[in-house]
């Protein structure tokens, strides 16, 4: 797959996640929409997490999570929201995070 095709696929996945977050009452937009370029986390949101979005066939959960944590802003923990094959709705996709992140979210 070419780099352009991969970026388009990633952009579509990010927009789908933004739409889902908004439907659940969160403010959200892609970082590209905010700054005009991709840098930092993929989604700028008022949700209590920093979100990296992935639409890839091959999984690299530890690499993706390391990227999400490195790109995390403020004190928000990094999570990876990744597309589940055969599922178009982000509510049916997976979200990967460390156990500590889950505990931080549960204890709020």
CATH number of 3-106: 3.40.1350.10
Residue 27 DSSP symbol: -
Query: Band of the pLDDT at 90, cuts 50, 70, 90?
Result: very high
14-62, pLDDT tens digit by residue?
999 999 999 999 999 998 765 555 567 899 999 999 999 999 999 999 9
How many residues are listed for the chain in this entry?
108
Structure confidence at residue 95 (pLDDT)? 97
Residue 1 DSSP symbol: -
- Predicted model pTM: 0.88
C-alpha 10/C-alpha 4 separation (Å) is 10
70-84: b or e for each residue (b if 16 or more CB lie within 10 Å)?
ebbeeebbbbbbbbe
Task: With beta carbons less than 8 A apart as the criterion, state whether 68 and 52 touch.
Answer: yes
Give me the residue spans of the domains in the chain: 3-106
């Amino acid at each position: 797959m070419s780099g352009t095709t991969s970026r388009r696929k990633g952009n579509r996945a990010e927009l789908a996640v933004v739409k889902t977050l908004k439907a659940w009452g969160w403010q959200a937009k892609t970082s590209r929409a905010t700054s005009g370029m991709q840098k930092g986390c993929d989604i700028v949101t008022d949700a209590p997490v920093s979100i990296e979005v992935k639409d890839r066939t091959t999984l690299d959960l530890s690499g993706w999570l390391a990227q999400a944590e490195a790109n995390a802003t403020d004190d928000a923990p990094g999570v990876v929201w990744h597309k589940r094959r055969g599922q178009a709705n982000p509510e049916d996709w997976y979200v990967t995070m460390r156990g500590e992140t889950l505990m931080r979210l549960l204890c709020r």
